[in-house]
C-alpha cells in the first residue's frame, strides 16, 4: 500500500469515528433525556412510571424509522456514492437534534409538544439508519486487507465515545437545580448538535470514495435497485447480519439507557452517580474496541464473536444480582466488566462481519438494513420492556432471561455467516450475498 493510500485509509477511519461519534452523541442525548427528564417535560399528566414508559416509547420511534433511513440512504449510497450520502445523514441528524433543543414543552403548547418531539425523533432515526452503514463501508473499503477488523472498529468506537460525551454533558446539566434543569438546562446538549455537525462535515469532505465503489461506478455497474437485489439475492446475509446483533444490542441498551432508570428508581442511587458509572464503563469499552479488533485480525472474527456471546449468556444473571445501590463501586465494576465481555468483544468486529455478507454493489443497502433491523428488533424494545417489567421494583430476572434468549439468537446467526469474503460482483452478475 503506497503512502497516499495509507493516508486515505487513516483519514477514512478518522472520518468514520468522528461522524459516528457525533451521530451517536445526538442519539444518546435523547436516550438519556428520555430516562431522566422527558417524562416530566412532555408527559407531565402521567404518573412517573407511566411518564417514563411514554418517554421510552418515543425513544423507540426512531428505531422504526431506521429501516426506512437505511433503505433511502442505502439506495443513494450504492447508486451514487458513500461520501455524499454520509454528508446528508450527518446534516439531517445535527439539524433534528438541534431543533429538539428549541422545542416548547407540554406546559407551553400542550399535545403539540410530544407530537413535534416524535417527528424530530423520526428524523434522527432516518439519519442514523443511513449513517452507520456508510461510515462502516468508508472505513472497511478503504482498509488494508490485513487490518480490516481494526479499521472496521473505528466507526464502532463512535458509539461508546458518543455515550461518554453525552453522559458527561448530561451529568453537567443534571448538576443544576431541578427547576433550572427542567426550565433550560436539558436543552444545552441538544443545541450542541448544531455545532458538532459543522465539525463532522469539514472532516468528511476530505475523504474520497472507496476504490471498489469508484471502479463499479466508472464501469456503469452499480445496482439499479440495490434493495431489491438484497432481498432477492442476499437474504441469508441480511438474516445473519440482523441476528448477530441480538445479544450486544440488548446488553448495550440495558446499560446505556435503562440502567439510569433502574439505578435511580429501583436501587435508590443518586442520578449523577449512575451517570458517572455509565460514563466510566463506556470509556473503558472505547479503549478496548480497537484492541479486540486487532486480535480478531490475527485469529479471526468468529472466535471473538462466539466468545463474547457466550460470556453474555453466562454472566448476565450474576451481573444483575451484583447491582447494588448501596455499593456504587461494586456496581461500577460489574457494569464495566459486562461492557467489556459482552459488548466490546462483539461490537468490535460486528461491523466488518456484517459488511462482508454483501458484495460491493449492494453493500451499503445490505449493511445499513441489517443494522437498522437489528436495532428495531433488539434495541428499541429493550428499555420499554425493562421499564414495563421492573417498574419501581427490583424484579430483574426477566431481563436476564431476555438477554440469554438474545445470546442464543446471536449464536445461531454467527453460524449462518459465510466464512469467505467476496469483492464486487462481476459486471454480468447481479449482486448476491457474499462473504465474511
Instruction: Report the domain count for the chain.
Output: 1
Report the CATH number at residue 43.
1.20.1250.20
pLDDT of residue 373: 94
What is the residue-wise DSSP string for 38-68?
HHHHH-TTS-HHHHHHHHHHHHHHHHHHHHH
pLDDT tens, residue by residue, 174-214? 788 878 888 888 888 888 878 877 887 887 777 777 888 88
Cβ atoms 16, 154 nearer than 8 A = yes
Tell me the average pLDDT of the chain. 84
pTM: 0.81
Q: How far is CA 101 from CA 33, 187, 223, 416, in A?
A: 11, 4, 39, 43
Is residue 376 a part of any domain in this protein?
yes
The alpha carbon torsion through 302, 433, 18, 381 (nearest 10 deg) reads: -80
pLDDT tens, residue by residue, 270-327? 888 988 898 899 899 999 999 999 999 999 999 999 999 999 999 999 999 998 888 9
What is the residue-wise DSSP string for 127-179?
HHHHHHHHHHHHHHHHS-GGGHHHHHHHHHHHHHHHHHHHHHHHHHHHTS-HH
Instruction: Give the separation between CA 206 and CA 204, rounded to whole angstroms.
Output: 5
Percentage of the chain exceeding pLDDT 70: 90
Is residue 431 a part of any domain in this protein?
no
Is residue 78 a part of any domain in this protein?
yes
Give the cell for residue 24: 451517536
Is residue 435 a part of any domain in this protein?
no
Bridge partners, 358 (sequence order) = 433
Is residue 425 a part of any domain in this protein?
no
pLDDT tens, residue by residue, 394-426? 778 889 999 999 999 999 999 988 655 544 444
Q: Domain containing 151: what range?
A: 3-416
Is residue 181 a part of any domain in this protein?
yes
pLDDT tens, residue by residue, 298-313? 999 999 999 999 999 9
Location of C-alpha cell 464495566 = 336
Location of C-alpha cell 451481573 = 319
pLDDT tens, residue by residue, 106-160? 888 888 888 888 888 888 889 888 888 888 888 888 888 888 899 889 888 988 8
pLDDT tens, residue by residue, 10-25? 888 888 888 788 777 8
Q: Please, what sign has the CA dihedral across residues 146, 203, 32, 30?
A: negative
Give the cell for residue 234: 442476499
Is residue 71 a part of any domain in this protein?
yes
Amino acid at each position: 500500500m503506497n503512502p497516499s493510500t495509507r493516508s486515505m485509509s487513516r483519514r477514512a477511519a478518522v472520518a468514520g469515528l468522528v461522524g459516528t461519534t457525533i451521530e451517536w452523541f445526538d442519539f444518546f442525548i435523547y436516550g438519556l433525556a428520555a430516562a431522566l427528564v422527558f417524562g416530566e417535560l412532555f408527559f407531565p399528566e402521567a404518573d412517573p412510571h407511566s411518564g417514563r414508559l411514554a418517554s421510552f416509547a418515543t425513544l423507540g420511534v426512531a428505531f422504526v424509522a431506521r429501516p426506512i433511513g437505511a433503505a433511502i440512504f442505502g439506495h443513494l449510497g450504492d447508486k451514487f456514492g458513500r461520501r455524499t450520502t454520509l454528508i446528508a445523514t450527518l446534516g439531517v441528524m445535527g439539524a433534528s437534534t438541534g431543533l429538539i433543543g428549541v422545542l416548547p414543552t407540554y406546559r407551553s403548547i400542550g399535545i403539540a409538544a410530544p407530537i413535534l418531539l416524535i417527528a424530530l425523533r423520526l428524523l434522527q432515526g432516518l439519519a442514523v439508519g443511513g449513517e452507520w452503514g456508510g461510515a462502516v463501508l468508508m472505513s472497511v473499503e478503504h482498509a488494508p486487507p490485513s487490518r480490516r477488523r481494526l479499521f472496521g472498529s473505528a466507526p464502532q468506537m463512535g458509539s461508546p465515545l458518543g455515550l461518554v460525551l453525552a453522559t458527561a454533558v448530561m451529568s453537567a446539566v443534571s448538576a443544576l437545580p431541578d427547576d433550572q434543569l427542567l426550565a433550560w438546562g436539558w436543552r444545552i446538549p441538544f443545541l450542541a448538535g448544531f455545532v458538532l455537525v459543522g465539525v463532522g462535515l469539514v472532516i468528511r469532505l476530505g475523504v474520497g470514495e472507496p476504490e471498489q465503489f469508484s471502479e463499479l461506478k466508472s464501469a456503469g455497474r452499480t445496482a439499479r435497485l440495490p434493495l431489491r437485489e438484497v432481498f432477492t439475492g442476499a437474504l441469508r446475509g441480511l438474516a445473519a447480519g440482523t441476528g448477530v446483533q441480538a445479544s450486544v444490542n440488548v446488553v448495550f441498551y440495558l446499560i446505556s439507557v435503562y440502567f439510569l432508570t433502574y439505578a435511580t428508581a429501583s436501587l435508590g442511587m443518586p442520578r449523577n452517580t449512575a451517570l458517572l458509572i455509565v460514563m466510566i464503563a463506556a470509556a473503558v469499552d472505547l479503549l478496548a474496541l480497537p484492541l479486540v479488533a486487532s486480535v480478531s485480525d490475527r485469529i479471526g472474527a468468529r472466535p471473538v464473536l462466539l466468545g463474547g456471546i457466550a460470556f453474555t449468556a453466562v454472566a448476565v444473571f450474576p451481573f444483575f444480582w451484583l447491582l447494588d445501590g448501596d455499593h456504587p463501586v461494586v456496581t461500577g465494576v460489574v457494569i464495566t466488566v459486562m461492557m467489556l465481555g459482552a459488548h466490546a468483544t462483539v461490537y468490535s468486529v460486528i461491523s466488518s462481519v456484517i459488511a462482508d455478507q454483501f458484495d460491493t454493489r449492494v453493500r451499503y443497502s445490505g449493511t445499513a438494513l441489517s443494522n437498522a433491523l437489528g436495532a428495531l428488533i433488539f434495541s428499541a424494545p429493550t428499555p420499554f420492556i425493562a421499564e414495563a417489567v421492573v417498574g419501581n421494583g427490583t424484579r430483574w430476572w426477566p431481563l436476564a432471561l431476555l438477554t440469554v434468549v438474545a445470546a442464543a439468537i446471536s449464536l445461531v446467526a454467527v453460524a449462518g455467516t459465510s466464512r469467505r469474503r467476496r469483492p464486487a460482483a462481476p459486471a454480468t452478475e447481479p449482486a448476491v450475498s457474499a462473504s465474511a
